[in-house]
Amino acid sequence: LKPTNSMGVLGLPVFGGITLLSGSYNDKNNDPVEYGGNDSGLFLECCLIEVGMQRHIVSTEIQGRSGTIKQFSSNGDYAVTIKGILASSRAGVYPTVDMEVLQSFCRAEDSFKIECPYLQDFFQIGNLVVQYASFPQLEGNITVQPFELKCLSDEPVILKTKDA
């Protein structure tokens, strides 16, 4: 991966990272809901990304034959785990704003767009939906908030209506 134009909290170039892009959707009451805070979203610079994929294969047993016959059905979604920290740039200050923005992505009832060379270039993943989120407290340090997001890849589907 190539360094980005961004500089980390320690003033070093960031290799990769992921940007969760702001957006909006309509909830069950058709009320607009915005997530991501500002227009640029949230850049997670201190994180590690793990990608896994499950394929859908139908296995059929045949009497008198050892093993099974495998038939490819489809590729499944990618499972994307993002582990990292939110860090405050000021000593003794909790990263409240970043935590609130990250929480808005976790509560979103829709998939959100991302910018991440690793996910886009190698796996063609452009949208994620959070399936599980964890925010453990870190003993003795208030300026850092660890997090783990378990996400699924998503491809937006545009439904067409057939005129009657």
- Range in 1-5, 94-98, 101-105, 147-151 with the lowest mean pLDDT: 1-5
Check: pTM over 0.85? Answer yes or no.
Answer: no
CB neighbour burial string for 31-59, b if at least 16 within 10 angstroms, e if fewer: eeeebbbeeebbebbbbebeeeeeeeeee
Comparing CA positions, the residue from 8, 39, 4, 21 lying closest to residue 115 is 21
Per-residue confidence at 14, pLDDT binned at 50, 70, 90?
A: low
Question: What's the pLDDT score for residue 102?
Answer: 95
Question: What's the pLDDT score for residue 108?
Answer: 94
Report the percent of the chain where pLDDT is more than 70. Answer: 90
Question: What's the pLDDT score for residue 9?
Answer: 60
Q: Tens of pLDDT along 76-133? A: 899 999 999 999 888 889 999 999 999 999 999 999 999 998 999 999 999 999 999 9
